Structure 1
Amino acid sequence: MGGVNMNVPVVGYETLSRLSVCKPVDRIEYITNSCIDKKVLDIGCYDETALIKRGTNFWLHGCIANVAKGVIGVDDSKKIPDGGIETGPNSRIFRGNGLKLDGFFDKNIEIIVAGEFIEHIESPLQFISQLKNIFPGRRMILSTPNGVCFANSVLGAISREAQHPDHIHVFTYKILNTLCLRSGLTDYKIIPYRFFATQMILESNGSKKIAAQLAQGVVRGVERFFPLLSFGYIIDARLI
């Protein structure tokens, strides 16, 4: 696992069982650093609803491509041409189904990344099982929003909710732990990640941009003290 220390979290499922959760990390930074000098399969990476991030330090695929040995991206967006899109000297995104990956098998793949993906698909359990079958022993890094994050709780107080129109699942720390256990994973950790208002900040200017930056800072302050209210989670696992 390249020196990554993981095990199975001890999680009690009684309502008042205390959960030991680490401080939230920066999602882009954590995943990018994990991919340095690695051969990466990046699933669902095009993110056509947030292409404003392309060319910035906030586009996960681009950040991975900058540090990885090589990146094969897979996304079913119709905006991707038949020959794929070159995203760097050693990276390309191909149009394909992230749930049917046999055609993208590469014995040299070291890490499979699926950022903000499992909340979009019908069966996350089947998806992880597929990865175990095709890429046994490899490292898998997933990320997904937290269904009980502080940011959405605040929005709920003013009759609002921030959700992508394609989301069909919401996850919490315990639900993700159950997903890992039911997938048969025996070596994993679940790490909270910090709130980001990236798209709002990039699309705004003047007072609106300042307000978005201030809101981001306030939410991150709360998350630091209450990590179970963090914006999302990363699953970092070995596929065994």
Structure 2
Amino acid sequence: MKIKSKVYWIITWMAMAMLKRSLKYRISGHNAGWLQNVPVKNISVFNRVDFILDQCRDKKVLHIGFSDYPFTVQKTGNGSLLHVQLQKVTKCLLGLDNNQNALQQYCEMTGDTNILLCDILLQYSLEATTFNPEVILFSEVAEHLANPAQAVDILYNSFAHGTKVLVTVPNYTALDSLASSLNKTEGIHPDHYWYFSPYTLCKLFDDKRFCTEQLHFGMYYLQHTKINKVLRQYPFNGDCIMAIFSITKNAGV
């Protein structure tokens, strides 16, 4: 199986190299005017889970959408739920979710009561805002919202200057999306409203209210799974976009 996988990746690398060369004319001349540079340097591709755990290590973390419903029971049971893994590395952890059933399932299985029922499209509870998180983990949430801009407005108005927001969202140029499009179909979770690009994500977390500190790409791999050479060469085709923004407010706001 490993040999077969390596062969597929070699073929993928060759195909990507040929596609890059053959389509270069599409981003030259008049079309070059539409190109947008990513607003940060040192972009790379990481294992999404490992990146999140590293960035949240020894921090006070508010985890939005922590239950991963409808997979709450399955992932809590086998230990793969991100929230369970975060408990091992964070200084303090509070989970928010808008699904009452998922909260009850999680609480019954773990005994963890550091969780809150919250609709981030309406408001954050006093318990959430006075928690004063160092990091707000907003991972794989925005694409599920019919109005993500409203959620970002409320988040910005609810938390203090300097609070970091770690966001991950599906990448519009992911290899799976490319493969689907070439086969005249689309690979997407049925509950998603959006894909994102680096440009559109930074428009959502605009530079008047947020400072973009990091932007990378990630793979939906299991923890400690290494990124292969093909993806390291073509990071913009990773599964997701991962960014760290910090809330920026004027003095006294």
* TM tier relative to shorter chain: 0.7 to 0.9
Q: Is the 8 A contact 1:150 1:223 kept in 2?
A: no
- 2:242 matched to which residue of 1? 234
Aligned partner of 2:66 among 41, 45, 50: 45
Describe how 1:81-120 pairs up with structure 2 within 5 A.
85=107, 92-99=114-121, 100-103=123-126, 104-120=128-144
CA distance in 1, matches of 2:208, 2:231: 28
CA distance in 2, matches of 1:85, 1:140: 25
Q: Is the 8 A contact 1:21 1:228 kept in 2?
A: no
Runs of 4+ with deviation above 3 angstroms: 16-21, 55-58, 80-84, 86-91, 219-222
Q: Deviations over 1:98-138 (max 9, x none)?
A: 33213322244221111100111123223223222211221
Cα gap change, 1:54/1:220 in structure 2, threshold over 3 Å: closer, same or farther? Answer: farther
Instruction: Quote the sequence identity (%).
Output: 23
Q: Is the 8 A contact 2:174 2:239 kept in 1?
A: yes
CA distance in 1, matches of 2:185, 2:176: 10
Q: Is the 8 A contact 2:217 2:238 kept in 1?
A: yes
- 2:87 matched to which residue of 1? 65
Q: Deviations over 1:154-179 (max 9, x none)?
A: 12333443222211111011111222
Deviation at 1:93, TM superposition (A): 2.8
Cα gap change, 1:35/1:17 in structure 2, threshold over 3 Å: closer, same or farther? Answer: closer
SS in 1 for 2:51: helix
Task: After superposing the two structures, state which structure 1 stretch, 150-159 or 17-26, moved more.
Answer: 17-26
Deviation at 1:22, TM superposition (A): 1.5
CA distance in 1, matches of 2:71, 2:83: 12
Cα gap change, 1:102/1:24 in structure 2, threshold over 3 Å: closer, same or farther? Answer: same
- 2:206 matched to which residue of 1? 181
Q: Deviations over 1:79-110 (max 9, x none)?
A: 13579727768763332213321332224422
CA distance in 1, matches of 2:106, 2:54: 25
Count of paired positions = 209
Instruction: Say if 2:178 is the partner of 1:150.
Output: no
- 1:5 matched to which residue of 2? none
CA distance in 2, matches of 1:145, 1:176: 10
Cα gap change, 1:225/1:83 in structure 2, threshold over 3 Å: closer, same or farther? Answer: closer
CA distance in 2, matches of 1:38, 1:90: 18
CA distance in 2, matches of 1:82, 1:151: 34
CA distance in 2, matches of 1:168, 1:128: 16
Aligned partner of 2:152 among 112, 128, 144: 128
User: Which amino acid is 1:178 matched to?
Assistant: K
Query: What is the TM-score normalised by the length of structure 1?
Result: 0.74
Provide structure 1 residue ranges, at least 5 long, that are not aligned to the other structure: 1-12, 199-215
SS in 1 for 2:57: coil
SS in 1 for 2:243: strand
- Greater per-residue helix proportion: 2
User: Which amino acid is 2:58 matched to?
Assistant: D
User: Which amino acid is 1:64 matched to?
Assistant: L
User: Cα RMSD over matched residues?
Assistant: 3.0
